[in-house]
Amino acid sequence: SQNIAGDLEEILLTEEQIHGRLAEMARQIETDYAGENVLLVGVLKGAVMVMADLARELNMQVTMDWMAVSSYGSGTTSSGVVRILKDLDSDLTGRKVLIVEDIIDSGLTLSWLIANLKSRGPASVEICALLRKPEAARVDIDVKYLGFDIPNKFVVGYGLDYNEMYRNLRSVGILAPHVYS
């Protein structure tokens, strides 16, 4: 059998740490949105695990919708120009929107997405992200609910991929260089 966890050079966050932090974030969200029906917008595909675990942790009415976006541009660096691959099914008019993301890297994806969703007439748009790489930031993102700041390393697991693989790891870790070199 395979041992995909063995491709990690270091575990940054265990399943327990992730779930513990998501529970704390959920308590904040329940307080801030008491009595409201929040629309959780998950950004495919990375946010699938965060969305699944956060939503089940929330003891409140939520609805869930999904968007898939792709950054245009050359090579490995994100250009900030984003294309919608799958749009929301929901009308955002008057809705309290909470974008759910796995990671803020350069910030370019979210920067574009926030502007896009705000143009659709929602009551509010806020961000919930499990991870952020402060050293990689190219634009400032005002994130209301943040799990962890992490170093500017190539991380996979818990939704985050390398060539579409490793999303199914329960932990978040640094991929060993031998995997991609």
105 as an active site residue: the answer is yes
Binding string, residues 34-53; x marks residues near ligand PRP by CB under 6 A: ---------xxxx-------
102 binds ligand PRP (CB under 6 A): yes
Name the strands in the sheet holding 124-132, side by side, starting at the edge strand that comes first in the sequence. 82-86, 62-71, 38-44, 96-104, 124-132, 145-149
From ligand PRP, Mg ion, Mn ion, none, interface partner of 17 (C-beta below 5 to 8 A by class):
none
* Choice among 7, 53, 102, 105 that is catalytic: 105
What does the longest C-alpha to C-alpha distance in the chain come to?
51
103 binds ligand PRP (CB under 6 A): yes
Q: At what angle do helices 48-57 and 15-32 cross, to 10 degrees?
A: 60
36 versus 161: smaller Cβ distance to Mg ion: 161
71 binds Mg ion (CB under 5 A): no
Give the C-alpha separation, 157 to 163, whole Å: 12
- Closest among 175, 129, 178 to 153, alpha carbons compared: 175
Active site residues: 105
Query: Contact positions toward ligand PRP, by CB under 6 A?
Result: 43-46, 71, 78, 101-109, 161
